[in-house]
Structure 1
Amino acid sequence: MLNRIRQSIVYRIGTLMLLTVLVALSSMVASYIISDAAENDAAAVNLAGSLRAMSYRLSAIAPSGDLAATRDLADEVAQRLAKVLSISDFSASDNLRAARHYNKVMHSWEQEIRPLLESIAASHTAMDSQQLANRLEPFITDVDTLVFDYQTIAEEKINLLRLVQLGSLFATVVLVYLSLYILHRSVEQPLKLLTNRSLSIAQGNFHQPPLEIDSEDELGVLARTINNMSDEIHATHRDLAHRVELKTAQLQKSHEALDFQYRLARRISEGPLPGTELGQWLGEFANVAGLENLDLCLMTPEGEAPYEHLVEGLGNEYCSGSECRMCVNTCGPSEEGESRVYRFPLEVDKRNYGVLMCSLPRGDSLDEEPQQRLGTFADSVTAAIAINEREAQDRRVALLDERAIIARELHDSLAQSLSYLKIQVTRLNRANRRDQVDRVAVEEIIAELKEGLDASYRQLRELLTTFRLQVGPGGLRGILEQSILAYREQHPQISILLDYHLDEVPLTPHEEIHLLQLVREASQNAVYHSQGDRVEISLTQADNHALKVCIRDNGIGISNAPEKRNHFGMSIMQERASNLNGKLQIRRREEGGTEVQFHFVPHYARERELVWREAV
């Protein structure tokens, strides 16, 4: 019981409340019992007090000789004496003071007073009122004593009731005070401490002195729990703060690494990386990655030794710089003497361009993240070298294509003119060897030679103009307008019109070049060979995104044998059409002249159609 009171504040408060209730109930029960016992005391006092008055009345009636009245009044006195006994808290046999006085009064009444009164009323005994009153004086004194006894009993009950109520009040006050004291000490103060600590914890202050609540009740258990929780949260918070600092530092390093990779990728996209600049990037990567000893060996795919060896820090002390094929073909970590070396080959499409090495003291190792950064840097360097190689190859191919174009243009223009001039020179030699020189024939041949030279010079100028043309900011439309302007200056008698509707069509450089050359070839043939005075050039787009190019003239029209080699540059235009996967048509117009039509689907439209098919 005591353990439960000590260990449970609820049980403690419940016990105090139960004691308070018991005191209140006891007080009420005792008050009820005492009040119930004192219920007839006032009636008994009144009845006993009325006996004195009736005794005085009998002393006045009996000497008058009225026997009936005397008997009636005597019976009423007897009845009242019996009623006093019936409402008293004692019986006639009790040995109480009041019981003895009652028996004395009863005995005096029955044995002396009543017989005397009846005898005087019956005139058997002569006695006047004064004498009778003197005779009744002892009886009346006994009645007064009995009345006093009843009054004393009532007062004792009232005093007892007062004592019970005072005791109950005192016990209640003591219990209430004790309850308030226990609540203040065991509940209010601990709750105040717990509330303040909870507010501090809510504000994030976990590092505080422990709560000094040593009780074994619920609040003590709660205080110890909060102390342990606060210590654990503080330790966890400190650990999380440390981990956040570490993660922040890692994120900062990752941000620096990403920024480095972004700048490197942007630089790679801008153009080739020379060896000196690549060495600067290697040094910056070493600072960003926190690595000291790095080697970057660059090799040709066919070479056995690096043509460039870039070192950051001390590098690999066991690297001899020759016969690197074994080093290039080795991937991952390896133990070499007092060092641990990580190798990352610069390889793409089964072509190896060298190796990136990181040297550490023996026993040390790289985590996964530094290895990923090394691999990413190696891939970036590989991509830069591969892009440079592809760009060089593209330049070679473009140079060869350009030379092939020049050769084709020379063959289709100057070569034919020179062949024609050669034939004319042969004719001139034959005419000159004859015995009689035909001056008219010689002059005709010389005129034709002069005309052929003029034509060759004109063709040479046109070829130079063609080779100098570049697709500038104005795009295909701008270069076409420049070409037409040149034609108009050279041939003012010919009206050349351009109908261009491809402003919203994204063409690749490859498509622009071939489309430009095809339009120039067809318009050049129309200008020089059609013998007309009007050339119309139109570039439009059909509903299926295909491009339509049409060049019309109002000249003499194409010959009946258009398949003749190099006639109107057909072979050249056919080749360009095949490069664009298009269809070329050359026909004679019914109203006169020649029409060249070319249809092809540009690259962006083919990609869109492919994506649409895949979605379907």
Structure 2
Amino acid sequence: MLTRIRQSIVYRIGTLMLLTVLVALSSMVASYVISDAADNDAEAVNLAGSLRMMSYRLAATAPAGDVGATRVLADELTLRLERVLSISDFSAGDDLPAAVHYRAVMDDWSLDIRPLLEKVAVGGTSMNSLQLASSLEPFIQDVDILVSDYQKIAEEKIDLLRIVQLGSLFATVLLVYLSLYILHRSVEQPLKQLIRRSRSIAEGDFHTHRIGIDSEDELGLLARTINHMSDVIHANQRDLERRVKRKTAQLQRSHEALDFQYRLARRISEGPLSGKELETWLAEFASVAKLDNLDLCLMTPEGEAPYEHLVLGLGNEQCEPADCNSCVSSCSSTAEGSQRVYRFPLEVDKRNYGVLVCSVAADSELEDEQQQRLATFADSITAAIAINERVDQDRRVALMDERAIIARELHDSLAQSLSYLKIQVTRLNRAKRNGQMDAEQVEEIITELKQGLDSSYRQLRELLTTFRLQIGQGGLRGILEQSILGYREQHPQISVLLDYRLEEIPLTPHEEIHLLQLVREASQNAVYHSQGNLVEISLVQGEDLAVHISVRDNGVGIGDSPEKRNHFGMSIMQERASNLTGELSIRRRESGGTEVRFEFVPQYAREREMLWQSAS
């Protein structure tokens, strides 16, 4: 019971309310019982008091000799005495003073007084009223005592009722005060602390204010739970703050690493890295990755020793230049003496360009993030070396291609012209040996030799111009406009018009060069040989994605045998057309002049067509 009261506010308040109700009920029940017990006290006092009056009446009636009236009054007095006993709170045999006095009155009445009155009434004893009244005085005094006893009993009950009412009032006041005190101590004060703590928690303070409630009831349990919850939240908050700081630091390091990798990649894309730059990048990487001892050995794929060895810090103490292959080929973490060595080969496409070595103390290990950054840096260095090697190879290939182009151009132009001149010289020597030197024939051969030399010289100049030609920012259109300006300056009597509508077509450099040379060759033939005053150049794209090029003039038109002398450029145009997988046609226009037409499908259109076919 006490344990439940101590552990439950509800049970405690319920107990106080129950006690208050019990006190009130007890007071009401006691009042009712006392009131009920005192219900006949007034009647008993009245009846006892009426005995004196009847005694005086009998003292006056008996000496007069009225036996009947005397007996009636005597019976009435007897009945009243019995009635007094019946409404009393005691029995005739009790030891209470009132019971003792009642028995004395009954004995006097039944043994002395009533017989005396009956004798006086019948005349057996001669007594007057005064004498008889004097004889009744002891009896009347006993009746007065009995009346006093009944009055005292009634007063005692009233006093008891007062005591019960005062006691119940005091108990009620005490219980109300105790209830208010317990509510103040066990409910109001703890609730204030809980509210204050709840507000501090709502403001984010989980540790400053603690609830000092040590009770075992519901509020105490709630206080302990809130304190525990606050401690857990505060601990989690501190742990989260530490984790956030750690993650922020990691993000900062990752940002620095990403920024380093971005700048390194951008620098690699700009051109080759020199040894001094590699040393600078290596030092910056060590600072970003928080590493002290790094070795960067660079080797040729065919070499057995590094051509460049960059060391940062103490480097690898176990480095043995005589055994570089074992270091380059390994990719693991090994303990070597007082160091733990991590190796990251610079390898791409089964070609090894060296190794990046990181050394730490033998009793420590690199974090996964540091190993990943080392691998990424090694990959970047490998990519830089591979790109440099690829650029050099591309330059070699470009140089060889350029030499092949020069050889082809010389073969297709000067070689043919010189062959033609050699044929004319052979004709001249043959005519000389035969002794048949016809002046007209010699003049014809000399004329052809002169024309051939002029053609060869012109072709040489055109080749020099072609080899020096570069397509700048203006692209194909810009170089064509420059060529047209040159024609207009050299031949102001000829109008050269350009219709260029290939701005939205992504031509490859190979396609641009061949288109440029083809258009230049056709336009030069029109300017130099057409004898007209108008040249129209058109470059447009048709609906079938094919590029259509035409060069028209209003001159005398092409001859019946254009493949003969002075038309070596046509064969060159045919070869360029075949290189672009296109179709070239040269025809005489009905309105006069010559038209050179060329059609081909660009590479981007062919690739798109292949994608469509594979998708379908």
TM-score tier by shorter-chain length is 0.7 to 0.9
Task: Report the RMSD for the aligned CA atoms in angstroms.
Answer: 5.0
Instruction: Decide whether aligned partners of structure 1 residues 92 and 361 sit closer, same or farther in structure 2, where only a CA change above 3 A counts.
Output: closer
| Aligned-partner Cα distance in 1 for 2:61–2:541 | 159
1:584 is matched with 583
Q: What residue is the counterpart of 2:547 in the other structure?
A: 548
Provide the residue aligned with 2:331 in structure 1. Answer: 331
SS in 2 for 1:324: helix
Map 1:353-368 → 2, pairs under 5 A: 353-368=353-368
CA distance in 2, matches of 1:47, 1:488: 164
- 1:265 CA displacement: 0.7
Q: Which residue of 1 aligns with 2:270?
A: 270
Match of 2:483 in 1: 483
- Shift in Å, 1:19: 2.9
CA distance in 2, matches of 1:589, 1:84: 168
SS at structure 1 position matched to 2:354? strand
Distance 1:436 1:524, change over 3 A: closer
Determine if contact 1:104/1:142 at 8 Å carries over to the other structure.
yes
Structure 2 residue identity aligned to 1:573: R
- Any conservation in 2 of the 1:523–1:551 contact (CA below 8 Å)? no
Give the 5 Å matches for 1:299-318.
299-318=299-318
CA contact (8 A) 2:577 2:584 kept: no
Report the Cα offset of residue 202 of structure 1.
Answer: 5.1
CA 1:27–1:515 in 2, change beyond 3 Å: closer, same or farther?
A: farther
How far apart in 1 are the matches of 2:229 and 2:379? 51
Change (3 A) 1:604 1:179: farther
Q: Match of 1:603, as an amino acid?
A: Y
Q: CA deviation at 1:267?
A: 0.7
Deviation (angstroms), 1:171: 1.9
User: What does residue 394 of structure 1 align with?
Assistant: 394
C-alpha spacing 1:106/1:335, structure 2 compared with 1 (3 Å): closer
Structure 1 pair 59–536 and aligned structure 2 pair: CA distance change class (3 A):
farther
**Which residue does 1:471 correspond to in 2?**
471
Measure, in 1, the Cα distance between the counterparts of 2:164 and 2:344: 103
SS of 2:460's equivalent in the other structure is: helix
2: CA distance between counterparts of 1:138 and 1:438? 214
In the alignment, is residue 574 of structure 1 matched against residue 573 of structure 2? Answer: no
- Displacement of 1:288: 1.5
Q: TM-score, normalised by structure 1?
A: 0.78
Trace 1:290-439 onto structure 2 (pairs within 5 A): 290-322=290-322, 324-425=324-425
- Against the structure 1 CA distance between its residues 84 and 297, is the aligned structure 2 distance closer, same or farther, given a 3 Å change threshold? same
Answer whether contact 2:416 2:568 (CA < 8 A) is retained: no
Shift of 1:535: 3.0
Partner letter of residue 598 of structure 1?
E
Deviations along 1:475-505, whole A, 9 cap, x unmatched?
3332333333334444555554433333333
- Residue 313 of structure 1: how far off its partner (Å): 1.9
For the 8 Å contact 1:298–1:355, the answer to whether it is kept is yes
Instruction: Report how far residue 70 of structure 1 moved.
Output: 12
Q: Which runs of 5+ in 2 are unaligned?
A: 122-126
2:23 matches 1:23 = yes
Query: Per the alignment, do residues 279 and 607 of structure 1 end up closer, same or farther by CA in structure 2, a change over 3 Å counting?
Result: farther
Contact 1:295 1:357 (8 Å CA) reproduced: yes
Q: Quick one: distance in 2 between partners of 1:274 and 1:95?
A: 135
Q: Structure 1 residue 80: deviation in Å?
A: 8.2
The residue number in structure 2 matching 1:281 is: 281
Contact 1:213–1:223 (8 Å) recurs in 2: yes
Change (3 A) 1:48 1:220: same
Contact kept? 2:81, 2:106, Cα under 8 Å? yes
Aligned-partner residue type, residue 579 of structure 2: R
Change (3 A) 1:491 1:85: farther
| CA apart distance, 1:109 | 9.8
1:337/1:229 Cα in 2 relative to 1: closer, same or farther (>3 Å)? same
Contact 1:558 1:587 in 2 (8 A): no
Q: 2:173 maps to which residue?
A: 173
Counterpart Cα distance in 1 of 2:243 and 2:158: 81
Q: Which residue of 1 aligns with 2:611?
A: 610
Deviations 1:560-598 (A, max 9, x none): 8989997353432233313xxxx4253647846445232
Contact kept, 8 Å, 2:297 with 2:355, in 1: the verdict is yes
Letter in 2 for 1:468: R
Question: 1:558–1:594: 8 Å Cα contact kept in structure 2?
Answer: no
Q: Which amino acid aligns with 1:261?
A: Q
Aligned partners of 2:595, 2:33: CA distance in 1, in Å? 141
For 1:84 and 1:560, how far apart are their aligned partners in 2?
A: 175
Deviation at 1:26, TM superposition (A): 1.7
Distance 1:504 1:77 in 2: 148
Please name the residue that 1:123 is paired with.
none
Structure 2 SS opposite 1:20: helix
What residue in structure 2 maps to residue 246 of structure 1? 246
Q: 1:36 to 1:613 in 2, by over 3 A?
A: farther
Q: Percent identity?
A: 68
Structure 1 residue 380: Cα displacement: 0.3
Find the aligned partners of 2:478 and 2:529 in 1 and give their Cα distance. 25
How far residue 289 of structure 1 moved from its aligned partner, in angstroms, is 1.6
1:557 to partner: Cα distance: 5.8
Contact kept? 2:413, 2:569, Cα under 8 Å: no
Residue aligned with 1:326, SS:
helix
Q: 1:97–1:491: structure 2 CA closer, same or farther, 3 Å change rule?
A: same
Q: CA deviation digits over 1:355-385, x for unaligned, max 9? A: 1122334444323222211111111011001
Shift of 1:268: 0.7
For structure 1, which segment, 184-193 or 563-572, has the greater mean C-alpha deviation from structure 2 after superposition?
Answer: 563-572
SS in 1 for 2:580: helix
Partner of 1:347, secondary structure, is strand
Whole-angstrom CA distance in 2 between matches of 1:359 and 1:502: 59
Q: Tell me which moved more, 134-143 or 483-492.
A: 134-143
Q: Residues 276, 144 of structure 1: CA spacing in aligned structure 2 closer, same or farther, 3 A cutoff?
A: same
With over 3 angstroms needed to count, the CA separation of the structure-2 counterparts of 1:382 and 1:69, relative to structure 1, is same
Q: Which runs of 5+ in 1 are unaligned?
A: 121-126
How many residue pairs end up in the alignment?
608
Give the letter for the 1:257 counterpart: A
Assess if the C-alpha contact under 8 Å between 2:518 and 2:573 holds in 1: no
| Equivalent residue number for residue 536 of structure 2 | 535
Deviations 1:316-345, CA, capped at 9 Å, x for gaps: 344344553332222223344444332211
Q: Which moved more, 1:231-240 or 1:500-509?
A: 231-240
Report deviation, 1:521: 4.5
76 and 493 in structure 1: CA distance in 2 versus 1, 3 angstrom threshold: farther
Q: Kindly provide the amino acid, as one letter, of the partner of residue 471 in structure 1.
A: I
SS of the equivalent of 2:498 reads strand
Give me the whole-angstrom Cα distance separating, in 1, the residues matched to 2:609 and 2:129.
Answer: 151
- 1:456 maps to what in 2? 456
Looking at structure 1, the residues matched to 525 and 74 of structure 2 have their Cα atoms a distance apart, in angstroms, of 174
**CA shift in 2, pair 1:388/1:475, >3 Å:** same
| 8 Å CA contact 1:521, 1:573 repeated in 2 | no
For residue 393 of structure 1, report the CA deviation from its aligned partner.
Answer: 1.5
Question: Structure 1: how far apart are the matches of 2:201 and 2:250?
Answer: 30
Equivalent residue letter for 1:599: F
Question: What's the offset of the Cα at 1:264?
Answer: 0.4
Indicate conservation of the 8 Å contact 1:525/1:569, yes or no: no
Q: Deviations over 1:106-162 (max 9, x none)?
A: 99999989x989x99xxxxxx999999999999999888777665544443332222
For 2:368, the aligned partner's letter is E
Equivalent residues of 1:522, 1:568 under 8 A apart: no
Q: Is the 8 A contact 2:511 2:580 kept in 1?
A: no
* Residue identity in the other structure for 1:251: L
TM-score, scaled to structure 2: 0.78
Q: Which moved more, 1:354-363 or 1:378-387?
A: 354-363
